[in-house]
């Protein structure tokens, strides 16, 4: 924002029809649509746009790499529930968005990317910094288009926001050739969208809802299996009401963590490859599986053939193409989870299900999530448990990918939706730090902690400079095992301990942090862990990086080996012995 911004903010978006450049139309439309922040990187064909942003009532965050900017917009959307906006120049800038867009696509996150493009008459000429970005990102966006007429510009941006944030949410990319940005146009009257082929079904079919309620009432051993869709639909309150009224145990996918208070007895915590034994056993033995906003990802189901083999399956989802895609659905219900759960709650009855809850309690007692607390080394799980304790389970938490991510899912106890921000479907290393930045910008008053892997952090650590520049008090906790730990675990278990190409040199992270203007702390003694976390939490004016030198060869348990059934977990003996 320039010093002129305050004045511009008072004026707001253009009220009376005047001639404006395409760049001005983009900026005014973003303001009109409620975008208070954009994450964008400069370049030749987006200079007209940045020039107009300079005077706009919009906060502009320039990342150090467009991938970082896209993850920031993604996490901003996850933390706030609003659309995240990212801007990149043509060619290399646009290409750097690929990972971020694929990430948002796999996790159904509303991100609008605006890319500059070479002049219309140069498209297809291999012009300088030309890349066919709409062609490149077609399979990893919900929608994309190239604006070739300035008359369509405002409408297209309205449509982009609408498509990104409705139905099954997802990323949209709008490509704007620079001649459109600099040409002028007078927009008369209000913008009307023109999407005749795009329909979102929100109200579920009442007959299907009745059938689902009947199945729930008849079930002896039900399980609610909820996915990220429950958070996108802002339906956590309805989920709580349904689970408590009907007396249903709840298990969550990685992306749904936070949607159900994990301190409640009905919570089975996470299911799947590194889910809890009690969730996985419950799913395998249930007679009714109620899937909501979840897509039966292979990390959840294990071997599909044997997944919840004896259960009737209710599948509630806003995206009809997701229903019965991977696993059969006996009672499909297409629509908005918030509405459908509200309707279901009216129709279900409370059943005691004593036997079922007794069995679940036995599994919980026999196979709790735990680890060896007697070692003198720093256990990664201990660090995460302490972060949870000292933040009172209230922080917004982002992660890298790998063991750090799975231990965070297991040992940080989440209470509320939009509290846990992680790369689920794509599993993108390097997500944690830029995600923490995006979340902190969306929620300036909250504590934001990135629990990261050393190698995940290595991928995007340059964004620490962005956090320093904007004085963001994010906390980065590196679970530094000196390995691509999750890969090492697989090499240990499935490749006879051959840790091929898995020892990369790491920098001294505290020194790197200080070089970039952040605080840096190194912890190599177990006794120092709580004090370091407290110190980290007390730092207000900018980011702090804590390098926890943890035990190098710790494994994540339990584990359903790839292709095995959900109840064929390794590590149960270990958990039982530690219980």
Ligand X SMILES: Cc1ncc(C[n+]2csc(CCOP(=O)(O)OP(=O)(O)O)c2C)c(N)n1
Interface with ligand X by CB under 6 A: which residues?
A: 400-404, 427-429, 453-456, 479, 481, 483-487
Omega within 30 of 0 (cis) for the link into 558 = yes
Distance in Å, CB of 547 to ligand X, minimum:
12
Nearer to Mg ion, 286 or 429 (CB): 429
Of the candidate spans 15-23, 338-346, 430-438, 477-485, the one that interacts with Mg ion by CB under 5 A turns out to be 477-485
- The three-class DSSP label of residue 251 is strand
Distance in Å, CB of 510 to Mg ion, minimum:
17
Nearer to ligand X, 147 or 559 (CB): 559
Of the candidate spans 296-304, 353-361, 444-452, 475-483, the one that interacts with Mg ion by CB under 5 A turns out to be 475-483
Nearer to ligand X, 365 or 552 (CB): 552
Nearer to ligand X, 326 or 555 (CB): 555
Instruction: Kindly give, in sequence order, each residue whose CB lies less than 8 Å from that of residue 179, ignoring residues fewer than 6 positions away.
Output: 119, 120, 121
380 binds Mg ion (CB under 5 A): no
Of the candidate spans 46-54, 362-370, 448-456, 493-501, the one that interacts with Mg ion by CB under 5 A turns out to be 448-456
Nearer to ligand X, 556 or 569 (CB): 556
Give yes or no for a contact between 133 and 90, defined as CB atoms under 8 angstroms apart: yes
Distance in Å, CB of 415 to ligand X, minimum:
24
The residue with tokens 């963001």 is 472
Distance in Å, CB of 480 to ligand X, minimum:
8
Cα angle: 555, vertex 401, 96; to 5 degrees: 155
Give yes or no for a contact between 288 and 219, defined as CB atoms under 8 angstroms apart: yes
The CB density around residue 553, as the number of other CB atoms within 10 Å, is 14
450 binds Mg ion (CB under 5 A): no
Interatomic CA distance for residues 337 and 168, integer angstroms: 11
Of the candidate spans 112-120, 167-175, 445-453, 550-558, the one that interacts with Mg ion by CB under 5 A turns out to be 445-453
Q: How far apart are the first and last CA of the chain?
A: 55
Distance in Å, CB of 390 to ligand X, minimum:
21
SS (H, E, C) 122-137: HCCCCCCCCCCHHHHH
Give yes or no for a contact between 86 and 100, defined as CB atoms under 8 angstroms apart: yes
Distance in Å, CB of 453 to Mg ion, minimum:
4
Interacting partner of 141 out of ligand X, Mg ion, none (Cβ under 5 to 8 A depending on kind): none
Binding-site member from 454, 463, 547, 554 for Mg ion (CB under 5 A): 454
The CB density around residue 255, as the number of other CB atoms within 10 Å, is 31
Nearer to ligand X, 402 or 417 (CB): 402
Closest to 100 (Cα-Cα) out of 84, 116, 89: 84
Interacting partner of 401 out of Mg ion, ligand X, none (Cβ under 5 to 8 A depending on kind): ligand X
Interatomic CA distance for residues 283 and 101, integer angstroms: 32
Residues that bind Mg ion (CB under 5 A): 453-454, 481, 483, 485
């Amino acid at each position: 924002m320039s010093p002129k911004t305050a004045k511009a903010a008072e004026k707001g978006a253009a009220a009376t029809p005047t001639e404006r450049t395409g760049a001005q139309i983009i900026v005014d439309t973003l303001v009109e649509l409620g975008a208070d922040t954009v994450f964008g990187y400069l370049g030749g064909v987006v200079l007209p746009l940045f020039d107009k942003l300079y005077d706009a009532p919009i906060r502009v965050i320039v990342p150090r790499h467009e991938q970082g900017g896209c993850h920031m917009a993604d996490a901003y959307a996850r933390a706030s529930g609003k659309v995240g906006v990212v801007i990149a120049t043509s060619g290399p800038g646009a290409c750097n968005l690929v990972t971020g867009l694929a990430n948002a696509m796999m996790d159904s996150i509303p991100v609008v990317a605006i890319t500059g493009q070479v002049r219309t008459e140069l498209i297809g000429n291999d012009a300088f910094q030309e890349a066919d970005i709409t062609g490149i990102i077609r399979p990893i966006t919900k929608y994309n288009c190239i604006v070739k007429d300035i008359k369509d510009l405002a409408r297209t941006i309205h449509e982009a926001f609408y498509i990104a944030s409705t139905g099954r949410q997802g990323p949209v990319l709008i490509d704007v050739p620079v001649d459109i940005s600099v040409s002028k146009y007078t927009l008369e009257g209000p913008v009307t969208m023109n999407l005749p082929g795009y329909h979102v079904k929100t109200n579920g079919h009442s007959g299907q809802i009745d059938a689902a309620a009947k199945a729930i009432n008849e079930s002896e051993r039900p399980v609610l299996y909820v996915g990220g869709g429950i958070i996108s639909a802002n339906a956590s309150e309805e989920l709580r009401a349904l689970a408590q009224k009907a007396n249903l145990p709840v298990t969550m996918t990685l992306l749904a963590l936070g949607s159900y208070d994990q301190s409640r007895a009905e919570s089975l915590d996470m299911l799947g490859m590194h889910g809890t034994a009690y969730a996985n056993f419950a799913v395998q033995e249930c007679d009714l599986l109620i899937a909501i906003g979840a897509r039966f990802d292979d990390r959840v189901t294990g071997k599909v053939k044997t997944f919840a083999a004896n259960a009737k399956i209710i599948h509630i989802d806003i995206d009809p193409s997701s229903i019965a895609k991977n696993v059969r659905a006996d009672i499909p219900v297409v629509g908005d989870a918030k509405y459908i759960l509200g309707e279901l709650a009216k129709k279900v009855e409370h059943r005691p299900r004593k036997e079922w809850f007794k069995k679940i309690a036995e599994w919980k007692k026999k196979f709790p999530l735990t680890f060896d607390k007697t070692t003198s080394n720093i256990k990664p799980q201990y660090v995460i448990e302490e972060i949870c304790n000292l933040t009172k389970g209230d922080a917004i938490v982002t992660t890298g990918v790998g063991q750090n991510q799975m231990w965070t899912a297991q040992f940080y106890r989440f209470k509320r939706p939009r509290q846990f921000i992680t790369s689920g479907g794509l599993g993108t290393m390097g997500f944690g730090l830029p995600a923490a930045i995006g979340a902190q910008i969306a929620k300036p008053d909250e504590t934001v902690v990135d629990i990261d892997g050393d190698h995940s952090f290595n991928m995007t650590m340059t964004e620490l400079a962005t956090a320093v520049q904007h004085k963001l008090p994010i906390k980065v906790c590196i679970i530094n095992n000196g390995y691509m730990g999750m890969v090492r675990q697989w090499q240990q278990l499935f490749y006879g301990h051959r840790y091929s190409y898995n020892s990369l040199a790491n920098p001294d992270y505290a020194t790197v942090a200080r070089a970039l203007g952040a605080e840096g702390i190194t912890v190599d003694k177990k006794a120092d862990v709580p004090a370091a976390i407290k110190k980290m939490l007390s730092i207000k004016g900018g980011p702090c990086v804590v390098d926890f030198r943890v035990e190098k060869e710790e494994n994540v348990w339990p584990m359903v080996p790839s292709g095995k059934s959900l109840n064929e977990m390794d590590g149960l003996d270990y958990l039982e012995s530690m219980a």
